[in-house]
Every structure is written in structure tokens, then in C-alpha cells.
Structure 1
């Protein structure tokens, strides 16, 4: 299931960057936990244009996240919110 819908209800975050956050489980090692913080910290700079697309996508890819799928899912969610 995507983040765009859950039982036909849309999730409306207080801040748009909340759609771009990632989490790790409690058993994650320190480098994975650090990566989560780096990715989550990059959301606002990317959304406000401080960080360019290339850098943000490379960051996601570096930590094992498919950038096009990840951002595409957020774009899908936004499109549903705007309808």
C-alpha cells in the first residue's frame, strides 16, 4: 500500500516534509540510524530549493532508497490532495 491512501482516507501532514521522512526499526545499526537522520534532515532544504534535485536524489540512492519511486509516491499523494 502506498502512503497516498489507507482505507480510502488521505493522510494530511502538518508539514509537507513529513511526507518525505523515513524511519528505521529499533534494531537498526548506528550507520542506518544516522542515514535516517540525514535523509529526514534533507527534506526541507530540498523542498525549499536550498538543495538541488541531483543532490537529494543521490542522497536517497546512497542510503538504498529508489529516488524516483520515493518521490513519485509523494507526488501521487499531493495530486490526490489537490483534487
Structure 2
């Protein structure tokens, strides 16, 4: 798996891997489950590609630091 792999590409790869493994099984429950998993991975890939929204928010330490800015207040020369 490449670290640069997008979620949609990863899901497509997982779908393809499920199909490849499924075809090594004889007809039966195991093969059916792998084919169903391939369908789910493909659907997730399609949905992610269509929405193009991140699945996860960055971890707090990975978020860019927010800086607060102070506004300078005009000095009041009149002191009581």
C-alpha cells in the first residue's frame, strides 16, 4: 500500500483483491462473502470519489496551529 494512495484508490484495490481471492475459492459461503466484500469496497470507492470529502478529521497534533491576534487598543490620553 502506498502512503500516497487516496482512499478511493485504496478501496478499489481492496475490491480487486477480494475478487482475486474469491475466484480461488469453490462456490460456497466463503466465496460469496468475498464477492460481497468486493461490492462494498467498490461502493465505498464510488461514494468517496463522488463526495470527495475527507473521512477523518486530522488528529489534533496534525492540525495547523491557530494563532490568536490581539488588536491594539487606541491609548486614551485622558486619565482620570
Same-fold call, TM cutoff 0.5: no
Q: Which has the higher contact order (CA 8 A, sep 6+)?
A: 1
- Tell me which interval the TM-score lies in, with the shorter structure as reference length: 0.3 to 0.5
Structure with more helix by fraction: 1
**TM-score, normalised via structure 1 length:** 0.34
**TM-score, normalised via structure 2 length:** 0.35
